[in-house]
A = this chain, B = another copy of it.
């Protein structure tokens, strides 16, 4: 059994805060502080340029990628870190489209994270007027898969509602129609069990700063199925994806397998933070994590619904259809969330009316969640969210 008291002790959390926003930015793992300090003082400071070899910086994207891969059912050598999630979406989509040269449609849903849709839009414009991004409602995706679809691009867990797609089923449907799939695991990696290889995924991408706790702006990851990796021609053909980067050839030749999805110089300090953050996961069993997450979600939903009838559940009631977050709707959601944050319960707000709460067993207990629900319901009962300063919007919501 995973010892969640032990994982809790591996994080630095501010006193008096119940943090229900680890689905947006994970908190600080204690080990990350020292690891980055060492990367700066002992590696960068002392090794200087030789750190690329001596400190293993050049291998970090693949080595750390393997550690992330273990959490998402990906074999060693099939995941590599780098860039941002948006860039990785572009890479995966461009590669997938090139593998289906006779098709022109990217199919996605309106619950996808907007940046994924924007990147697809930009790629379609670059590819030419025949290419289209088609979006349908999340529940209409399955029926919209037909033999015009080149790529099905979905985020497994909806960033607003927490609704989880049935990945294995949709992959089977897409493959039966001759389409490839690109899965965004932003709200899956470290949140729920994922079995990329078992589900026969083609491409997957994700970020590391949410449930994997790599810190603000940590690097993204990309997975390519081993059966495809050597056939992919990267559109973003950067030198570190070259077969021999330090030969400085004038022509691009893709590197072996997943290495070709690297682009430019890796962000060593952010990778060091992620590498340390992944230590927490060494003792975690993903099915224990899932059970604990659903337990925490259940407590929260039950308690809030019992005491706050003015909040309506936006997340599916069936636990099997949920990720690791719970959302409620309220037209005054923004102000309510500001009041909650002011009282030490940090969740976040997503326009137009979503109060979003992430459940992260690594550092949240049933007692934390009970207390958070009670504070929320008290704020609602007393109406103390209705203050002018709570209505004033800040830049980042």
Chain A residues packing against B (C-beta within 8 Å): 12, 14, 17, 19, 21, 24-25, 27-28, 32-33, 36-37, 40-41, 43-46, 48-53, 57-59, 83-87, 90, 94, 110, 113-115, 117-119, 121-123, 125-128, 135, 160, 207, 209, 215-220, 233-240, 242, 246-252, 263-271, 273, 341, 346, 348, 350-351, 394-397
Going nearest first, the 4 A-B pairs with the smallest beta carbon separation are A84-B264, A115-B239, A122-B237, A216-B268
Contact of A394 among B53, B84, B113, B271 (CB under 8 A): B53
CB contacts (< 8 Å) of A114 on chain B: these are 239, 242, 248-250
Contact B125 A235 (CB under 8 A): yes
Contact B45 A268 (CB under 8 A): no
Report how far A52 CA is from B24 CA in the complex, Å: 11
Contact A215 B122 (CB under 8 A): no
CB-CB under 8 A for A12 and B83, given A40-B28, A40-B32: no
Contact B36 A216 (CB under 8 A): no
CB-CB under 8 A for A247 and B48, given A40-B28, A122-B252, A127-B126: no
Report how far A236 CA is from B117 CA in the complex, Å: 11
Known contacts A59-B395, A87-B236, A246-B351; can you find 12 more A-B pairs with CB under 8 A? A21-B49, A25-B51, A44-B215, A115-B239, A122-B236, A160-B248, A215-B268, A216-B269, A217-B265, A246-B397, A247-B351, A248-B351
Contact of A250 among B12, B135, B265 (CB under 8 A): B135
Report how far A269 CA is from B35 CA in the complex, Å: 13
Question: Smallest distance from the beta carbon of A352 to chain B beta carbons, Å?
Answer: 9
Contact A238 B84 (CB under 8 A): yes
